[in-house]
Amino acid sequence: MLRLLPWTLQLLLAVVVVAASYYDIRYRRIPNWLTLPCVIVGFALNAFLEPPVWHGLGDAGLGVALALLFNFPLYLLHARGAGDVKLLAAIGALVGWRDWLAIFILSGILGGVLAVILMLAKGRFRKTLWNTAAIISEMVHFRAPHLKSEEFDVNSPLSFRLPQGAVIALGCCALLGLHVFLRR
């Protein structure tokens, strides 16, 4: 069950993901000065806003741990950028593990829809299906896909990708909209 986030956490989450989205779209990176302080502030705010202190710290800690557990392996496979991993950890510290999981799922759904729209608009449907099959084949054989083709490396200019910071921001906005709906 989602917890109703205090307005301070909602506001901070919105500011952080909008800034991250801007930087990711404009510069193709998410800066450390945005994500790392957010982790510290997330722990502090949760400790203060969710008594007893250890309950808030535990919720923030589980949010960060879950974000790293799901996303660090993707980073190692060159399927997610380091900034995206740090942004998701910062979001986990702010909102806790339950809301982080909801954001992760919402971002995945919205990112999938946007990816299909983008590949259809760019005429890359067949190429994307072949690339997906090649990536799955490499992973089934316990090989890192980016070693087969530079196109499979998220950090390569040859890769066809969405700015994940913007997609994560959309997932956060969807969750914040859900919170508005739940408060009524």
Give pLDDT tens digits for 62-108: 999 999 999 999 999 998 999 999 999 999 999 999 999 999 999 99
CA-CA distance, 22 to 95, in Å (whole number)?
Answer: 21
**Torsion sign over Cα 109, 177, 27, 44:** negative
Q: Which residue segment(s) compose the domain that 142 sits in? A: 125-159
Residues 114 and 142 in one domain: no
Residues 155 and 92 in one domain: no
- Which pTM was predicted? 0.89
Residues 18 and 89 in one domain: yes
Q: 75 in a domain, yes or no?
A: yes
Number of domains in the chain: 2
Residues 23 and 60 in one domain: yes
Residues 144 and 174 in one domain: no
Residues 83 and 101 in one domain: yes
pLDDT per position as a tens digit, 107-159: 999 999 999 999 999 998 898 889 889 999 999 998 889 888 888 888 888 78
Q: 1 in a domain, yes or no?
A: no
CA-CA distance, 22 to 1, in Å (whole number)?
Answer: 31
User: Which residue's structure tokens are 């982080």?
Assistant: 100
Residues 46 and 90 in one domain: yes
Contact 3, 98 (CB under 8 A): yes
CA-CA distance, 47 to 2, in Å (whole number)?
Answer: 18
